[in-house]
C-alpha cells in the first residue's frame, strides 16, 4: 500500500457562488467518494478560502496564501491505495474534476519507512 494526497484546486469565487442546490449536489458527490473509498480515506478537509490564510516567510508574517493565484488549494484528502490506477478511479468521482474551473492533483506521499 502507498499513500497519496489529493489536492483540490479551484477558483474560490466560483465555489462561493454555488447555489444551495448545487452545494447539496457537490457535498453528495464527496459523500459518494468517501463511501467508494471506504477505509482507504485516512483524512481530508475542506479549507477556508485562501484570503483567510496567513503565511510565514523569513521574519515576515504575511496576510494571504503562499502563492497568490486565482485557482488556490481548496481542500485535500489523504488516501491509501495499492497503486495509481486505484487512486485515479476514485478521484474521478470528485465533483471538482468535472467543474471546469477546478481540478484534482494527485501527489504520492514520501514513504519514510
Partner 1 sequence: MTAVADALAQAHRRDWAQVLATTVRVTRDLDLAEECTQDAYAQALETWGRDGIPDRPGAWLTRVARNRAIDLLRREAALQRRLPLLLTDEQDRDDRLRLVFTCCHPALSREHQVALTARLVCGLSTAEVARAFLISEATMAARLTRAKKKIATARIPYRVPPPEALAERLEPVLEVVHLLFTTGHTAPTGPSLTRADLTASALELARTLHLLMPRAAPVTALLALLLVNDARSAARVAPDGRLLLLSEQDRTLWNRDRITEGVALLTDSLRRHPPSRYSVEAAIAAVHAEAPSWEQTDWSEIAGLYAVLLRLTDGSPVVALNRAVAIGFRDGPAAGLAELKPLTAEPALATYPYLAAARADFLSRLGRAAEAITAYGEALALTDNQAERDFLAARLSALQE
Give yes or no for residue 106 binding partner 1 (CB under 8 A).
Answer: yes
The secondary structure element, H or E, covering residue 90 is: helix 84-91
Other Cβ atoms less than 10 A from the Cβ of 81: the count is: 20
**Pattern 59-88, partner 1, x by CB under 8 A:** -----------------------xxxx--x
- If the CB atoms of residues 2 and 47 are measured against partner 1, the closer one turns out to be 2
Give yes or no for residue 36 binding partner 1 (CB under 8 A).
Answer: no
Count residues contacting partner 1 (CB under 8 A)? 8
CA distance 16 to 25: 14
Contact by Cβ (8 Å): 112, 42: no
Residues in touch with partner 1 (CB under 8 A): 2, 82-85, 88, 106, 108
Amino acid at each position: 500500500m502507498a499513500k497519496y494526497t489529493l489536492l483540490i484546486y479551484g477558483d474560490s469565487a466560483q465555489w462561493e457562488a454555488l447555489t444551495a442546490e448545487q452545494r447539496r449536489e457537490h457535498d453528495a458527490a464527496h459523500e459518494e467518494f468517501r463511501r467508494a473509498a471506504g477505509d482507504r480515506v485516512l483524512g481530508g478537509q475542506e479549507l477556508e478560502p485562501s484570503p483567510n490564510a496567513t503565511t510565514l516567510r523569513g521574519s515576515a508574517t504575511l496576510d494571504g496564501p503562499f502563492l497568490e493565484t486565482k485557482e488556490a488549494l481548496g481542500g485535500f484528502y489523504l488516501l491509501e491505495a495499492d497503486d495509481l490506477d486505484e487512486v485515479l478511479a476514485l478521484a474521478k468521482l470528485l465533483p471538482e474534476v468535472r467543474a471546469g474551473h477546478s481540478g484534482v492533483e494527485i501527489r504520492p506521499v514520501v514513504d519514510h519507512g
